[in-house]
Each structure stands twice: as structure tokens, then as C-alpha cells.
Structure 1
């Protein structure tokens, strides 16, 4: 046998099983259903996608990129090695062979635990999450005429009066436990631009003044418009003995309850029920019709920013001459997450809406909480955004439409 034939026979020993050896030297591509147990990858540039169900993973070092159109580009920063049989080409420059112990699909870190109330000694972290797709508070710009500065390092007292004390002799009118302070431990701005009102419960503290401390803030400015909309994005603490509130009163001095009270967001004892309220009378049988409310169940109000709006349209309703009292007839509307939940007419004899202020506070215990005391811990009311605008979102046309589809407040 010639030396040439010896070399030829030796080479044929390496050809795949079942291949027509006599044609191997032609350079033709292997059949699409590439057979045989001793799998070899076809030459570069000649790879073809096998029919469904016949794919085999090539040995290390023999991998070739599939033809265009056979894979989808993942979003930047979101690529992870897929399960076996579902390979996708990673973005250019980002492929690395993972070690064997990491060949299972990687997942992003789990979200932080749900935020609410933390009955323990350590102060809780300030929540930063928001509902997916929710517009950031700062994006609502058209017509906004006031948005307080929540920058860290600025004293809270520049934008708000920080009420102090127990509200003696009746615990702020409801036998409440808390001692309001102006301390940074009870109200402060965060580095990412949020306002936090922190109620701290330490029932065993030797100093009675330090057992229950909290914050009560009153805006230094008034609504200052006969028509407008007040909006806040709040994460509310929900726990037994805790009563956070976002509400309004006439500018001091005022006569309660005749000049009115508006409650936009308040909940107590951890029931996750928001109460939209209007008050302008005493809690007596004859004044019962002067206390109106609608409840809205918000099960996740302690875990995300909830949007609360209060819109008023009182222009041209008039003021009683000589005593600065509203002649009534203006229209008020309460919203939760953009949905109208209650409407009412501005009661006659109340203070004109332009002269009202904004309040934020976290109360503890007392009559409203049915005498229940909060467990030891810190409880945060987080204000993600706060603003006054000349009209509600969607304009006054939307307000008129909502007015005809909203319910009146119900007598408490």
C-alpha cells in the first residue's frame, strides 16, 4: 500500500459514524440532523439550527454563536445564565463562563421586608420603595404654587411649626399619651428628600416625659387660594395604639369645632382603614349631622406611598361681612390614589378655605385608640412628597366629572 493510501485510511478513522467517507474530501456541510454519539461541531460559518427537540449541547471549546434571529437581546444589566436548553447570547463584552457551582440561574436579590411599624428598640429604616409605575412626587409641576423643601440639613422648623407638649389638660382633646417635641429624633428630613415624623414608645422609661414622644407639624403657610388642590404621598404606620394623621385646621387662633376641621388621611389601631372626614360641630346628638366620614380600606398603606388629594372649589361663594366666616356653598372633594372617595359642600359659618393650614402628626393611645397603648418601638409617618396646586390633576373639568360620580360624606 502506498504511503498516500496509508494516510488516507488513517484519516478516515476520525470521520463521524455513518458519514459517506468517500465524499468527505469534498468539503460539503454535514446533514442538519448531525448523527452519531461522537458529536462534533460543524466548521465555522456552516452551523444550522437543528429541528426542535434535536438540539445537543456541543463539547467545551466547540461552541459557535447561533445565526441572527435565533436569540433575543436582554435588557442592559438584566442578563442571567438561563436554564439548560434555553441559551441566549449575552450582550457583547459581558459573557463569562460561570463556575460550576453557579450554573443555576441567578436571580436578583429579594425586596426588602415589608415596612410598617417596628416594635423593638432599634429605629426602623426609612422606606424608599414605591408602587411600580407610580409617578414620582416631584414630577407634578404644572400649577404647583408651594412644595416644601425636604432637603437634609434644613431644620424642619423652617417650613413647619413644631408643636410641643402633652396638650394638657386633656391630652390634645382625646386623652392621648404622646409628648410632642421639636427634637430631630421625632421629626427630620432624610438624605433622599423625605420628611419623617417618628413616634417612639418606651413605656418603661424612668422619665414620664420620654415614655411616648412624637411630632406634630403645622405648616407656616396657608392654602391661600379660593380654589386649589393639596396632595401628599404618605406611608402610614399601622399598629395598635398608633394614630397617624394628615389633616387641616384654620390658622390660629380659631374656634374649634365651629370653624371646621378636614381630615384627609388618618388611621388607628392598625386596621388599615383610611378616614376622610369633615367636622364642624361638637360630639353631641344634636351636632351628629356635622360629622361626616367615608372609609377606604388600604391594606398596604404601611408598605408603600399612598397618594392623598384634597381639592376645593370655593371661589365666589362669599364671606359673611364683619366676621370673616364662609357663606358656604363651596365644594370639597377627597381622593385616594387618584380615585374620588368623598364629596361635600363647604359648611356655612366655617373659616374661608384660604385661611387654613396643613397638619401632620402621629398620636398614641387615647380615646380614638380605645385606650390601647403602642408596644415599645418606633413608628414612622413618611412624607414622600407634599404640594399645593392651583387645580387637581386632570384640571377642573375632571373635578366636575368626579363630583357627579362621587358619594357624599356619611354621618358618623
Structure 2
């Protein structure tokens, strides 16, 4: 879910059923998790999460304005976090984008998000990470790991890595996984297993593909040598998913069951 308009660069395509190559199971040490316990209507744990607010397109000509209103981001009282894009009576879209910037970070290891994604024309949910140094070095030099994105009817999962090129541009490599039923139909666990020179993606514990330093363009740099923080959001419209239309649901919600960082 980068800050600039981009066409998705892909290195492979896999069908979710029958995926080969399970991600390597080994004992992991839990660094942090959030299971989103708390009263219905409350903001998630503020020792871990902050909301990013405002409109202005977010670098992709998106149409939503992010808020921290309970209608857009709140616990449901049953152990879930709900981020909702909503169409207002005047045709305006509001939504939510929350991050662990400065509060919870991973420095290599396994990052996991279990969620049910929304669907609809122009709807763009994402769970992703950015380098904690983004305010000093900017994007894409901070690096970006997209655990999952989907567009429209959520018929495939996109998992992507972004980094800088010598000409101040950016490179991207990733995995496109078509699914037998929309990702909005149920919960799935999306993960990125990050080591020094390789990031392995998986869905529900099954490996979907990997990106390593050997996949970079000749002028590309691997930026993943420092901590990354987590972002969860639901964008609406923009150059990549296209605009919402009359078929788009007035409320499109990403429901998050839990998130975890393991080392």
C-alpha cells in the first residue's frame, strides 16, 4: 500500500488451494500480539496503535478521509478490530488507517495478521509494514512489506515487497495468489517471514512465494536492515483499484482477529 501510484510487479501466481511448499515451521518467540479484547466501540490499545488522519489522496488519488471515529475504527466487543470505509449521505467516503509507528516494531522474524477483508468496486484493504525510519529517509528508502492487499471483489491476494532504486525510483517484487472464494468470505492468516536477505510470504501457513536480494534489479537496494512497523487500513478509489461505483457497498469493513510479531 505504497505512498505513490504504482503498477504491481509480480514474480509468480499461485492458486490458494493446493499451494505447495509450506512455510518452515519452527519454534518462535512471541514479541508482541494484539487480540483486540476490549469493550465494543472503543479504540484499540493506545499503547500500541495510533490513527493517521485526513484526506488529500494519500499519494494515490484515493477518495477517503481517514478518521478515528468509532464508526470507522473500533473494537466489536467480541475480540475483533473493525476498520470500516463508509459512504456518507453527501457522497463522501470516510475510513480508517491505524499504525504501530514508534510503539511496536519488528526487526526480522514472522509478522502475521488474521483478518477478513472487505470487497467491492474501488475498495482497497491492506495489512503492511513500513520502515520505522520513514520520517528520516522517506519512501521507498524505508522499505515496505505488504502482507496482503486486495482490490474489487477480493478474488486474489497480493503480497509485495518495495524498495529504492539508485535513480530515486522504486522497485517491487511480489506474489499474486488467486483464491477459490473471495477473501471477504472468511478469515485468513497473512504472513511475511523476514530474514536478513529474504522475505517469505504465506497464507494460512502455506507458502505463496518469496522475494530475496537476488530478485532485485541491478540498481536496486535492499532496505530491510532496520525495524518495521505495522499498518492496517481500508482505502477507497485511487489510480490502482479504480473508483467506487453504484455497486460498492455503503459500508466495507476489514475485520481483524489478531496480529502477531514473532522472532
The bucket for the TM-score relative to the shorter chain is: 0.7 to 0.9
Residue 155 of structure 1, aligned match among 32, 36, 43: 43
RMSD: 2.5
- Relative distance call for 1:353 and 1:214 in structure 2 (3 A) is farther
* 1:189–1:196 Cα change, 3 Å: same
Which residue pairs with 2:14 in the alignment? none
Cα distance in 2 for partners of 1:241, 1:343 equals: 28
The alignment of Structure 1 onto Structure 2 pairs a total of residues equal to 223
Counterparts of residues 57-76 of structure 1 (less than 5 Å): none
Provide the rounded CA distance (Å) in 2 between the counterparts of 1:271 and 1:195: 19
Q: Which runs of 5+ in 2 are unaligned?
A: 1-26
Aligned to 2:63: 177
Identify which of 256, 261, 272 aligns with 2:144. Answer: 261
Contact 1:223–1:353 (CA under 8 A) maintained in structure 2: no
Structure 2 match to 1:115:
none
- Distance of 1:358 and 1:334 partners within structure 2: 16
Give CA-to-partner distance per residue, 1:327-386, whole Å, 9 cap, x none.
Answer: xxx211100121111211256745445421101100001101223446351111010111
User: TM-score, normalised on structure 1?
Assistant: 0.50
Which residue in the other structure is 1:272 paired with?
Answer: 155
- Whether 1:377 aligns to 2:245 is no
Alpha carbons of structure 1 residues 143 and 278: separation in structure 2 relative to 1, 3 Å: same
**Does the alignment pair 1:307 with 2:179?**
no
- Distance in 2 of aligned mates of 1:337 and 1:368: 26
Higher strand share: 2
More helix per residue: 1
Match of 1:243 among 124, 127, 133: 124
Q: How does 1:10-409 map to 2 (within 5 A)?
A: 143-153=29-39, 155-156=43-44, 158=46, 159-166=48-55, 168=56, 171-202=57-88, 204-205=89-90, 211-220=92-101, 221-225=103-107, 227-251=108-132, 252-253=134-135, 254-281=137-164, 290-298=171-179, 299-314=181-196, 330-346=197-213, 349-373=221-245, 375=248, 377-390=250-263
**Distance change (3 Å), C-alpha of 1:295 and 1:151:** same
The whole-number CA distance in structure 1 between the counterparts of 2:93 and 2:150 is 18
CA contact (8 A) 1:222 1:355 kept: no
TM-score (structure 2 length as normaliser): 0.77
